[in-house]
A and B are shown apart, each in its own frame.
Chain A
Amino acid sequence: MTNSRFDPRRWVAYILAPLDGPLMLIVLGILGFATVVMVSASPERLGTLGLNVAVAFVVMWVAASLPPQRMMSIALPLYILGVLLLVGVALFGDVSKGARRWLNIGVARIQPSELLKIAMPLMLAWYFQCREGMLRVRDFFVAAGLLLVPVGLIAKQPDLGTAVLVAAAGFYVLFFAGLAWRLILPFAVIGVVAIVTIVAMGDTICQPGVEWPGMREYQKHRVCTLLDPTSDPLGKGFHIIQSTIAIGSGGILGKGWGSGTQTHLDFLPERHTDFIFAVLTEEFGLVGALFLVLMYILLIFRGLFIAAGAPTLFSRLLAGALTLIFFTYAFVNMGMVSGILPVVGVPLPFVSYGGTALVTLCLGVGMLMSIQRHRRRVGT
């Protein structure tokens, strides 16, 4: 008790205590790979990358140290804050590139939609925890309402990519909370039919002058460009064409670290952010791509494992949803860079350069760690 002498071993133990070994190893593995790629793609950003990682790890550690009960207590205030900030954006936000996404709070400009990516599953998990044991169908409608308000606000900015991600995050909670299959399946079927129709009839419905119900011209344009990138090789199609060339020309083993011609001859757009996966595959080939996919699979299965062992409804739902958010990020990003999904601004988790996204992701990992650590205690 009175021993206040500095003891390195106890210190290390203190630091390591909240962290989950397997998760930590996976995240470090991906980040390590990302750093190697970044040295090739954009070496001048390494310093900032280091700083971002440091901040994100601190956030992760703090989140991992918080017991899930504490997270529960901040769920509602965080959600309300997020929605208020979104309303603020709608009313007083700064417009940049035709979209109203940023809120200037004097010291900095913040993008409140980012906050919702975590606040959304937290809030819904909390709601279902409150209704545990007396859950009715009505509760799913209330939850859907809680979900649609911020999603609507974000979609109106317009920021369709983030709106879809936040909607997905909320939907995962509903899914794990037991949303009836007969409510899920029709939508899934409609979605599949719609996609098949669009792909099959791409030539007809992409003609200029054909209006798509409920979609703006640029959204139609994105989908059409995906179906046939060569229809617009100077505009939106340019990104997809160049990134598929980068991936395809990487071959099985890649062109080697630092020798990606697409990357280094300036053909790849946004090569350190959303399109960094193209750099990775051009230089490390199919092997590199599969290694990264494997890491994500490990991450997701560790997450699902943690969810399976979580003691309370809240922590189960939260862990499940967070894990699927990681999956969504990874799948959507790699899908768009390789040309099977439309180009929406979604970063590749732990690989794309960008402080806010990294902090958000590490916050999620920290929460998973906390849930895993507190699995034996029964809450509430």
Chain B
Amino acid sequence: MSVIRTPEQELARFRGRLAVAGAVALVCFGLLAARFFYLQVLRYDYYSTRAEDNRISLVPIVPNRGLIMDRNGTVLARNYSAYTLEITPSRVADLEATIEALSALVDIQPKDRKRLKKLMDESKSFESLPIRNRLSDEEVARFIAQRYRFPGVELKARLFRDYPMGSFGSHIIGYIGRINDRDLERIEENEDSANYRGTDHIGKAGLEKSYERELHGLTGFEEVEVDSGGRAVRALRRTPATPGNNLVLTIDLKLQEVVEKAFGNRRGALVAIEPGSGGVLALVSLPTFDPNLFVDGIAPQDWDELNTSPDHPMVNRALNGAYPPGSTFKPFMALAALMSGKRTAGQAISDPGFFDFGGHHFRDDKAGGHGTVDMYKSIVQSCDTYYYRLANDMGIDLIASTMGMFGFGSRTGIDIEGESSGVLPSPEWKKRRFKKPEQQKWFGGETISIGIGQGYNAYTMLQLAHATATVAAGGVMFKPHLVKYIESAKDGSRRMIEPQPIKTIPIKPEHLETIRRGMIGVNREGTGARAFAGAPYVSAGKTGTAQVYSLKGAKYSAKIAERLRDHALFIAFAPADKPTIALAVLVENGGFGAQSAAPIARQVLDYYLLGKLPAGVAPEDPGAEGSAEESTGD
């Protein structure tokens, strides 16, 4: 349609539209005027009263934070109620004098004053701020007797967080701490500010952080009429808070304890996963720390101690520590060889005890070699030469792509933060990793040591356990998770975290069977046989030793030498025919995997499959009393 109008018609229409616009504007302004009339004349009494007594103050009701429990109901994180003394700065005439007078009744440290000052800078003057937390009963009594002297100072019951198990499982649970500026920014970004009024703690690490939304709950509020001194006279309206949800974990705390005891004072990590679901049964990183230290702001001295320790207790080794897998890599290499058709199970090589490549002599552990080696023997005896040659035949690209399928070199997606992706070496990785062109080139010789889990290989124990669990589950990969279900604190209803199959790796059953047989052989007649002697169940395993430093004949002092010793590793799953547990364990500077890592795995399997407790672990559930008196204070 194209209507050609005369300029006069155009102008007339334009002026008509101007009139419409003017009319709409008048109507809209009329609407506004009507609204003003309504607010300022008809509702004047109501609003002037509201303005008059803006003395009605709105008090947020902080929800109880959800509890964290292990799969058997042992409480790992709970709340308890304690008194805290709070000041509303705008209601206090002379703040300094008031605090001075208060300090005669309750113990007020310089650090308490510092904290109040900091809080005042961050908040509005009519907010009530804590000057002292966790008052003793005597202090409470002394203050109540004298409270008439302190308008604007109030005694409040608050909930504090407590981790009854102390350092057990602290890398999983994490901790909460005071909300700082960074947390505030995040809260504002999520448009959550209203829900965090009155809340002064937030999850900082571990599950406390990653499940903050579940644990926190919904803040309620209460309209309170207050007298001139700022004290509540009566409540007008109350919307109760909805408590945070409880987390029930897949973790078995008892198992966790067995592991931590089995390590003794050695450093290391262990991850145990249920192959058919991805549920994490134990996730240990040692040494560990006491999360209770963080709840009210960690003291500088404790913080320094944790941070400067050469043992790095704050590092979650299971998630964040990437180590070369050593020979635990071999079953996966063997599987990759079968899958790609580069080897058959029966194909044998003759091992002279070394493999030559490009003028370099790659030696086997056993001088003189293992003789004729097929795939079974290569796993059972951990024959290096077999895998040197295999790696060379497969080539780095095929190795990288097949190992990538098992999850090596990528984050597993577990439900806590801080996971490292490790290093799955490939020519592309090298190009990204190094800046200088001469360092970016991939050399054929580098492929050889990849085959035995050394070289650039570096994976987390979580990845290794994850890959082992995937093989144990016949190639079905589940997303590892620590939370079994989320329990509503309101009505007790449960939201299960369903096992999430990520993918199914296409592996022929006969190939899986070959690997399974090889790994059973390890524990029956191979490198794991000593540790598993007499076990009433059939288990599959593989030892590993990861080089920390190439000694090259130099000598070190005893102290340094301990830190330069090889890491010991072990992977296992059991029962071999229908696995219910798969694990990976690493003992830092533990030497041979067979010596120090395999016995830990044995204790874990003995406990998990037979309920057998190693010496030194108390048989009764240490959390039983804790769960009985969990706090529900308000």
Contacts and interface: CB of A to CB of B under 8 A. Distances in A.
Interface of A: 97-98, 133-137, 172, 175-176, 178, 217-218, 221, 232-236, 244-252, 261-262, 265-267, 281, 285-286, 289-290, 293, 296-297, 300-301, 304, 307-308, 313, 316, 320, 323-324, 327, 331, 334-335, 338-340
A379 to B, nearest CB: 14
Contacts of A324: 21, 25
Contacts of A323: 21
A327 B221 contact: no
Given A137-B2, A249-B50, 11 more contacts: A176-B18, A217-B191, A233-B221, A236-B194, A248-B47, A286-B41, A290-B33, A316-B14, A323-B21, A324-B25, A334-B32
- Cβ-closest 5 pairs across A and B: A248-B47, A235-B194, A249-B51, A248-B39, A249-B48
A20 to B, nearest CB: 17
Contacts of A217: 191
Contacts of B13: 178
B504 interface: no
Interface string B31-73: 1110111011101101110111010001010000000000000
B197 A289 contact: no
Contacts of B43: 248
A252 B22 contact: no
B54 A265 contact: yes
Interface in B1-36: 1-2, 4, 10, 13-15, 17-18, 21-22, 25-26, 28-29, 31-33, 35-36
A137 B1 CA distance: 7
Nearest to A319: B18
B48 A248 contact: yes
B47 A135 contact: no
B248 to A, nearest CB: 23
A302 to B, nearest CB: 11
B22 A301 contact: yes
Contacts of A250: 40
B29 A248 contact: no
A290 B36 CA distance: 9
B124 interface: yes
A267 B57 CA distance: 12
Interface string B171-200: 000000000000000001101011101000
Contact of B17 (A175, A221, A245, A340): A175
A244 B39 CA distance: 7
Nearest to B1: A137
A175 B25 CA distance: 14
Given A218-B191, A247-B39, A248-B39, A293 B32 contact: yes
Given A245-B51, A266-B124, A234 B197 contact: yes
Contacts of A172: 21
Given A136-B2, A176-B17, A248 B40 contact: yes
A11 to B, nearest CB: 36
8 contacts: A134-B4, A137-B1, A178-B17, A297-B26, A301-B22, A331-B25, A338-B39, A340-B35
B357 interface: no
Interface in B184-220: 188-189, 191, 193-195, 197, 219
B22, B44, B52, B188, most chain A CB atoms within 10 A: B22
A108 B287 CA distance: 50
A251 B37 contact: no
Contact of B29 (A286, A296, A338): A296
Contact of A261 (B25, B51, B124): B51
A182 B18 CA distance: 18
Interface in B456-509: none
Best-buried of B1, B37, B40, B125 by chain A (most CB within 10 Å):
B40
Contacts of A266: 124-126
A247 B40 contact: yes
B37 A338 contact: no
B21 to A, nearest CB: 6
Contacts of B39: 244, 247-248, 338
B4 A232 contact: no
B54 A320 contact: no
Contacts of B54: 245, 261-262, 265, 267
B283 to A, nearest CB: 33
A178 B32 contact: no
A154 to B, nearest CB: 20
A31 B124 CA distance: 32
B36 A286 contact: yes
A252 B40 contact: yes
Contact of A331 (B1, B28, B219): B28
Contact of A286 (B31, B40, B194): B40
Contacts of B32: 293, 331, 334-335, 338, 340
Interface in B364-394: none
B2 A247 contact: no
Given A304-B22, A335-B32, A249 B47 contact: yes
B18 A307 contact: yes
B240 to A, nearest CB: 15
A245 B47 contact: yes
Nearest to B35: A338
B15 A308 contact: yes
B35 A327 contact: no
Contact of A293 (B29, B48, B50, B126): B29
B303 to A, nearest CB: 31
Contacts of A98: 189
B14 A289 contact: no
Nearest to B26: A297
A327 B25 CA distance: 7
Nearest to B40: A286
Given A137-B1, A235-B193, A335-B32, A249 B22 contact: no
A140 to B, nearest CB: 11
Given A246-B51, A307-B18, A338-B39, A300 B25 contact: yes
Given A262-B51, A267-B54, A290-B36, A221 B221 contact: no
Contacts of A296: 29
A135 B47 CA distance: 54
Contact of A281 (B10, B40, B50): B40
B503 to A, nearest CB: 30
Contact of A338 (B2, B4, B36, B44): B36
Nearest to B13: A178
A335 B30 CA distance: 11
Contacts of A267: 54
A340 B31 contact: yes
A78 to B, nearest CB: 24
A346 B464 CA distance: 56
A303 B195 CA distance: 46
Count chain A CB atoms within 10 A of each CB in B31, B54, B189 and give the residue with the most: B54
A130 to B, nearest CB: 15
A360 to B, nearest CB: 20
B14 A248 contact: no
A323 B25 CA distance: 10
A57 to B, nearest CB: 26
B188 A248 contact: no
Contacts of B22: 300-301, 304
Contacts of A249: 44, 47-48, 50-52
Contacts of B26: 297
Contact of B37 (A246, A286, A339): A286
B74 to A, nearest CB: 33
A234 B220 CA distance: 10
A328 to B, nearest CB: 9
Contacts of A134: 2, 4
Contact of A289 (B36, B125, B188): B36
A335 to B, nearest CB: 7
A326 to B, nearest CB: 9
A131 B219 CA distance: 59
Nearest to A260: B51
A234 B10 contact: no
A251 B31 contact: no
